[in-house]
Amino acid sequence: MPLIDLSKTSLRDLNASLHKLTADTNETLWTIVNPAGEHSIAAGVDAPITINIDGPVGYYCGGMNKHATIVVEGSAGQGVGENMMSGLIRVRGDASQSAGATGRGGLLIVEGNASARCGISMKGIDIVVKGSIGHLSAFMGQSGRLVVFGEAGEALGDSIYEAHLYVRGAVAGLGADCVEKEMRDEHRAELAELLKAAGEEHKIDVSEFRRYGSARQLYNFNIDNVDAY
């Protein structure tokens, strides 16, 4: 059970140790203290381990994560879990801009709020935000699911492809080609499964959420839109 104190160990050494781990490692529980908002903590991990980070982190924490479970006991800066492939990242505080950006898989849970561009260009990641999200979230979202217990800022889902968006609170505005869609049984089941994964099963009523997605009008070039270019 390695305990790394970032006021004594360099970030580069920490990440190098994490990168050396293989799938069959016995060092499966790591604790990082004094993160002090440093950038790129535990980025690029590719092993089925658990990493507890005792305090706030800077940019790109857990970026490109594969298999690992990362828990941040504080807030996270820009791009937490960006391009993550699998595994779980849980932020106990708030997340800054671009949380889960371009994520391919895995689950990102933000217990507080996430700010602008949450899930921008998401490509398969699941994101559950227990607070609210900022403007331009899920911009060009291709696949994956974004669940928001609170409100969403301006231009939600702008130019969205096939990501599924579920928002419980008010949406300040929808972006281009993003529309509200009917909540059918299959969507209620999908949402219930995500709430379960986030540890909120039976605590929140799935019928309180509204679903948003692509109107599919921007997929292909349309000669009628030529004046817009």
Partner 1 sequence: MCGIAGLFIKDRSLEPKLGELLTKMTATLCSRGPDSAGFAIYGSGKAAGKTKLVLAGPSKAYSLEPVMRELGLHLGPGADIHLLHTHAIVSLKAEDAGRVRSWVEAHAPEITIVSEGERLEIFKEVGYPTDVARDFGISGMSGTHGISHTRMATESAVTTNGSHPFSTGTDQCLVHNGSLSNHASLRRELRREGIPIRTENDTEVAAAYLTKQMRDGQSLGEALQSSLADLDGFFTFVVGTENGFGVLRDPIACKPAVMAETDQFVAFASEFKSLMCLPGIKNAKVWEPKPATVYFWEHQ
Instruction: List interacting residues with partner 1 (CB under 8 A).
Output: 36-38, 56, 58, 75, 77-78, 94, 96-97, 113, 115-116, 134-136, 153
Question: Which amino acid does the sequence have at 182?
Answer: E
Question: Which amino acid does the sequence have at 189?
Answer: A
49/133 with CB nearer partner 1: 133
115/214 with CB nearer partner 1: 115
| Least CB distance to partner 1 at residue 56 (A) | 6
| Least CB distance to partner 1 at residue 124 (A) | 26
48/112 with CB nearer partner 1: 112
Residue ranges in 50-203 assigned as alpha helix (H): 185-197
21/99 with CB nearer partner 1: 99
Full DSSP string of 117-152? TTTTT-EEEEEEESS-B-TTTTTT--EEEEEESS-B
| Least CB distance to partner 1 at residue 221 (A) | 26
Coil, helix or strand for 41? coil
Q: Could you give the count of Cα atoms lying within 13 Å of 212 in the half-sphere of its Cβ?
A: 29
| N- to C-terminal Cα separation, the chain | 57
| Least CB distance to partner 1 at residue 139 (A) | 11
Question: Which amino acid does the sequence have at 188?
Answer: R
